[in-house]
Amino acid sequence: MLKNKLIKTALLCCMLYLPVLVMGQPPRGPLARSPIVNADKTVTFNYISATAKDVKLSGQFLKAPATMTKGAQHNWTVTVGPVAPDIYPYNFVVDGISVMDPANEYFFTNERFKGSLLDVQDNPPLIHALQDVPHGTVTYEYYPAAGGTTGTLVVYTPPGYDKNSTKKYPVFYLISGTTDTEETFFKVGKANLILDNLIAQGKAKPMILVMPYGNVEGRIAEQKGGKKPADPAGRESDEAVTRALAFSKDVTQHMIPYIDKTYRVLPGRDNRAIGGFSRGGGETLRTGLGNLDKFSYICSYSAYLSPAEMDKSYSFVAGKPQQTNKLLKLLWVSVGSEDFMYKPTSEFLDYLKAHQVNYKSMISGGAHTWMNVKNYLATTAPLLFK
Amino acid sequence: MLKNKLIKTALLCCMLYLPVLVMGQPPRGPLARSPIVNADKTVTFNYISATAKDVKLSGQFLKAPATMTKGAQHNWTVTVGPVAPDIYPYNFVVDGISVMDPANEYFFTNERFKGSLLDVQDNPPLIHALQDVPHGTVTYEYYPAAGGTTGTLVVYTPPGYDKNSTKKYPVFYLISGTTDTEETFFKVGKANLILDNLIAQGKAKPMILVMPYGNVEGRIAEQKGGKKPADPAGRESDEAVTRALAFSKDVTQHMIPYIDKTYRVLPGRDNRAIGGFSRGGGETLRTGLGNLDKFSYICSYSAYLSPAEMDKSYSFVAGKPQQTNKLLKLLWVSVGSEDFMYKPTSEFLDYLKAHQVNYKSMISGGAHTWMNVKNYLATTAPLLFK
C-alpha cells in the first residue's frame, strides 16, 4: 500500500517535473526561476532534476563550488553571497558534468566552454548596465577577408551616427581572447552599453567599435571545409606568432579597408585605436606596434609581449623611445593581480620603463576575467581620441 | 603493485584528459572535434568525458537517441546518417543530463533549452547557406517600448541599403516562438542569409526584416526587477490572449513608429508584412488581422487561430470576405504534417475556405521545427511586396 502510494507519487512527480522530452528536441523543462538576485544581493540558483545525485554551482563570484541541496519538486537550490555587482560566468556541475543554467537565456559566447551569465545590478547603475540614455546600434557585418574567406565583424556605431548625416567618427578595434568569438565583446563585455553610458556622461568621444573574430587561420580552415586547428602551445611559439601575424594582416589588408569604405570614419592613425584581451591583447600589441603608421592608441588588457620578443621583433619600440613616445598617444597595459599572466605582464611593464617608453598601466584586483575586461574598457575608452 | 600502477594511470589520464578546472570558470576541456560532417554526409559526434557512464546523442535528425561509445582518450563517439542537408538542433545526454556540445560554438538561441546546431551543407548550397553574394547587415537595436521598457530588435537591411542613399524599402516583421528570443530568426532561422540569397537570385524584393522579442510582458517584468512570468496555459486562454495583444500593441505603438523613424522605409500597409512561428505565428495573426490598416501581408508559420476565436475576435475577416480579400494581398498559413499543431491549423484553413477568405497554404513534411521555418520563410519572402 505504502509502496503503491510511493510509486504513484513518484509517477506524478515525474509527470509534473521531469523535462518534457520531445523526440530529438532539447528538453524544455519546467520553468525553474534562476538565477534570482535578492534584495540583499545574495543570489539564489535553482536547477530541477529528478535524477541527479549531486549538483554544485561553480562561478567566478565563488572561491569554491557551492553544494546545492534538493528540495520539493526535485528543485536543487543554493543561495550565495552577497555578490558584488557585476556580470559573472557560472555553470552547474551535475553529477560531475558541466551544464549551463537551463532557465537563463544569457550566456558566455565562446567556442569551447558553455557558461551562463549572472548579472548583479547596482544602484546607481554600473557603467555596463542598460540605462535610459541614447543608444548606439550593434551591427553584424560580413567582410571580404584573408584567404578568400567571408569574415565576420560586430560593429558598434554611437548614438547620433545618423544614417543621413555627414559626421565622421574615430574607430576603436577591439579583439577578444582565445576561443572567444566576435560576439564576446558585445554579449559578455557589454562594450556597446559601456560606450553608450560613457558618451552620455560626456566622458568618452563618440566612436565606432569594430569587434572581429581573432582566429583567422581557424576561419580559413573552417570555410575550406576543414576544422579549426587546435590552439598553439605557448604564447610566443612559432605557431602562435605566425597566427597572430596572420590576424594582423587581416586587420590591415581587409578589415580597415572595409570599415573605411563602409562607415563614416575619420581618416588616419590619430583616429584609430586597437585594444584586446588575452590572445586578443597579444594580437593588439603585434598589430599596433607593427603598424604604427595606422594606430596611435594601443590598449593591452591582460596580455604582454616578452622582453625577448620585444627585442627580436619590435626592437624599434625600445630602441628609439623618443620616436615611439611621439607616435603613440597611448600605450596602455592592464592586468589583474591574481591573473596567471600577472608576472609576464609586469615584466613587460618593467621592460617599457627600463627603455623609457611611455605607457599607462593599471594593476587591478581579480584574475583573467571579463569582469576585468569591462573595467579596463571603461577606463581606457575615455583616454582615446583626445 | 598493479593497484599502484592503475592509480598512476588513472592520475595520468585525469591530468591529460579531464577538463582543466580554473576555479570558478567553466571548464575548458581538451579540444574534441565535433561535429564532423563526413564526405558521405554521415556525421561524427565526439564528447570527451573520463567520468561519464552513458552518453547519448539526441537531435532533430534522429528518430531516437543514438548511443555513443567510449574509445581511446575518454572520447565518446558516434557516427550517424547520412543526414539530409539542413541545420538541426542537437544535444548530448550525459548520464541522463542534457548538455550542449562543448566543441561547437553554434547554438540555438533560446530562453529555456540549450541546444547546439549541426549544419550539414549541400552542393549547390542551400538557400540559407552563406554564399558569395552581396550581404545585407544585421543590426541590434534598442527601442522605447511598452511599459517604459527598453525593447530589443534585430534588424536586417538588404545589400544596397547604402547609408547615404535615398532609396526606401518595404518592411517584414518576423516574430519567433515561445522561449525563442529576438535573435532566433537570425541565429537559427538564418533569415539574413535567406534574404541575401533570394535577393541575389532576383527572387525576392530587397526588404528590411525586423525581428523583435515576442514576450512583452516578460520583458516588462524583468526590467522592473522581477522575473518573467511562466508561459500561459493554452494558446487561447485569457492569459495567452492578453499577452498576445500586449505584443500587438507594442508592434503598432512602439516598433513601427521607431522603425519608420530610424530606417528608410516605404510608407503604408502595402509595404508592410508580418510573419511568425508558433507563438509568434499566433501573434502575427492577431497583429495582422487586428490591424489591417497597417499590414497587407500576413504569414503564419505553424500557427493558427481557432474557428471559435476567429468568430469571437476577428468576425469581420470571415464576415466580410470580399473586403478581407481586397485588403490582404497575402494570407499565408503553413504547417508540417507531423507538427503537433497540424490538426488545429488544418481547422483554421478549413474555416478560411468555408468562409471564402483567400489564403495560400503549404503543408510540408516534418514537425514543429526551425528546419520548417527556414523553408517557409524562403517560400514566402518571394511573395511579398509584388
- Look over chain B and give the mean of its residue pLDDT values, rounded to a whole number: 89
Suggest the residue from B142, B264, B368 to mutate for an interface test with chain A (most A CBs closer than 10 A). B142
Sequential DSSP letters for A317-330? HHHSHHHHHHH-SE
Q: How confident is the model at residue A62 (pLDDT cuts 50, 70, 90)?
A: very high
Q: Would you say residue A66 has pLDDT above 60?
A: yes
The answer to whether the Cβ–Cβ distance between B59 and A111 falls below 8 Å is no
> Cβ contacts (< 8 Å) between B142 and chain A: which residues?
130, 135, 137
pLDDT at B365: 94
Cell triple for A151: 569574415
Residue B2 burial (CB < 10 Å; 0-12/13-18/19+)?
exposed
**Secondary structure, 3-state, chain B:** CHHHHHHHHHHHHHHHHCCECCCCCCCECCCCCCCEECCCCCEEEEEECCCCCCEEEEECCCCCCEEEEECHHHEEEEEECCCCCEEEEEEEEECCEEECCCCCCCECCECCCCCEEEEECCCCCCCCCCCCCCCCEEEEEEEECHHHCEEEEEEEECCCCCCCCCCCECEEEEECCCCECCCHHHHCCCHHHHHHHHHHCCCCCCCEEEEECCCHHHHHHHHCCCCCCCCCCCCCCHHHHHHHHHHHHHHHHHHHHHHHHHCCECCCHHHEEEEEECHHHHHHHHHHHCCCCCCCEEEEECCCCCHHHHHHHCHHHHHCHHHHHHHCCEEEEEEECCCCCHHHHHHHHHHHHHCCCCCEEEEECCCCCHHHHHHHHHHHHHHCCC
In this structure, are residues B108 and B114 in contact, taking their beta carbons and an 8 Å threshold? Answer: yes
Residue A293 touches chain B, beta carbons under 8 Å: no
Mean pLDDT of A7-21: 34
> Does the pLDDT at position A16 exceed 50?
no
Are residues A112 and B25, on separate chains, in Cβ contact within 8 Å? no
pTM summary value: 0.85
A40 touches B at CB < 8 Å: no
- Mean pLDDT for B8-17 is 33
A10 has pLDDT over 70:
no
pLDDT exceeds cutoff 50 at B264: yes
Are the beta carbons of B27 and A137 separated by less than 8 Å? Answer: no
Cβ-contact B367, B340 below 8 angstroms: yes
Of B111, B135, B264, the CB nearest to A142: B135
Nearest CA in chain A to B223: A130
Distance between B26 CA and the closest CA of chain A, angstroms: 6
pLDDT in tens, A101-136: 988 889 998 888 889 999 999 999 999 999 999 999
Residue A336 contacts B where some CB pair is shorter than 8 Å: no
One DSSP character per residue, A276-304 reads: EETHHHHHHHHHHHTTTTT-SEEEEES--
Find the mean pLDDT for residues B258-269: 95
pLDDT of residue B83: 97
**A61 lies within 8 A of chain B by CB:** yes
B172 CB within 8 Å of a chain A CB: no
3.40.50.1820, 3.40.50.300, 3.40.630.30, 3.30.2130.30: which CATH number matches B137-383?
A: 3.40.50.1820
Q: B17, B23, B178: which to substitute to probe chain A, counting the most A Cβ within 10 Å?
A: B23
Cell numbers describing residue A219: 576561419
pLDDT, one tens digit per residue, over B286-334 is: 999 999 999 999 999 999 999 999 999 999 999 999 999 999 999 999 9
| Residues within 8 A of B (CB atoms), A 207-266 only | 227, 230-231, 263-264
Sort out which chain A residues have CB atoms less than 8 A from B64's CB and list them. Answer: 23
Distances, alpha carbon A316 to alpha carbons A284, A292, A294, B33, B299, in Å: 17, 11, 16, 41, 63
B331 phi and psi angles, rounded to 5 deg: -120, 110
Q: Measured between CA atoms, how close is B163 to chain A, in angstroms?
A: 5
CB contact under 8 A, A52 and B91: no
* Greatest Cα-to-Cα distance within chain A, rounded to the nearest angstrom: 90
Confirm or reject contact between A181 and chain B (CB < 8 A): yes
In the CATH hierarchy, which fold is given to the domain comprising A12-120?
Immunoglobulin-like (2.60.40)
Are B150 and A132 a contacting pair at CB < 8 A?
yes
Tens digit of pLDDT for each residue in B144-171? 999 889 999 999 999 989 766 789 999 9
Name the CA radius of gyration of chain B, rounded. Answer: 24
- Residues with Cβ < 8 Å from B355, sequence gap 6 or more? B317, B318, B321
Interface test with A, best of B57, B110, B114, B210 (most A CBs within 10 A): B114
Of B28, B102, B139, the CB nearest to A139: B139
| Long-range contacts (CB closer than 8 Å, 24 or more residues apart) made by B311-316 | B313/B241, B313/B286, B314/B289, B314/B290
Is the minimum CB–CB distance between A163 and chain B shorter than 8 Å?
yes
pLDDT at B233: 80
Which grid coordinates belong to B320? Answer: 466580410
The residues near B25 (Cβ < 8 Å, ≥ 6 apart) are: A58, A60, A89, A113, A115, A369
Angle formed at CA B154 by CA B150 and CA B160, multiple of 5 degrees:
135
pLDDT at position A102 is: 85
Q: How far is CA B18 from the centre of its chain?
A: 35
Minimal Cβ distance to A105: which of B99, B103, B181: B181
All cell numbers assigned to B111: 530562453
Least confident of A59-68, A191-200, B79-88, B106-115: B106-115
Q: How far apart are CA A342 and CA A362, in angstroms?
A: 11
**Whether B139 and A138 lie within 8 Å, measured CB to CB:** yes
For B29-120, the fitting CATH number among 2.60.40.10, 3.40.640.10, 1.10.760.10, 3.20.20.140 is: 2.60.40.10
- Using a CB-CB cut-off of 8 Å, the residues of chain B touching A56 are none
User: What pLDDT score was predicted for residue B194?
Assistant: 98
Closest C-alpha to B141, from A171, A135, A263 = A135
Q: Which of A26, A107, A164 lies nearest to residue B164, judging by beta carbons? A: A164
Instruction: Kindly report the nearest CA distance between residue B40 and chain A, in angstroms.
Output: 13
Please tell me the distance from the alpha carbon of residue B8 to that of residue B178, in angstroms, as a whole number: 51
Inter-chain contact B114–A102, Cβ cutoff 8 Å?
yes
Please answer yes or no on whether A89 and B26 come within 8 Å at the CB atom. yes
Domain residue spans of chain B: 29-120, 137-383
Across the strands, what pairs with A173?
A: A210, A274
Which chain A residues are Cβ-neighbours of B140 within 8 angstroms? 137-140, 186, 192
Query: Which residue of B28, B63, B96 is in closest CB contact with A113?
Result: B28
Burial A67-91 (b: 16+ CB within 10 A, else e): ebebeeebbbbbbbbebeebbbbbb
Nearest to B139 among A62, A137, A263 (CB): A137
Residue B89 in contact with partner chain A when CB distance is under 8 A: yes
Question: Would the CB atoms of B102 and A113 count as touching at under 8 Å?
Answer: yes
How far apart, in Å, are the Cα atoms of B314 and each of A203, B197, B306, B311? 53, 36, 11, 6
Q: Name the residue of chain B whose CA is nearest to A263's CA.
A: B163
Contacts B231 to A, Cβ<8 Å? 31
Comparing CA positions, the residue from B143, B177, B19, B12 lying closest to residue A28 is: B177
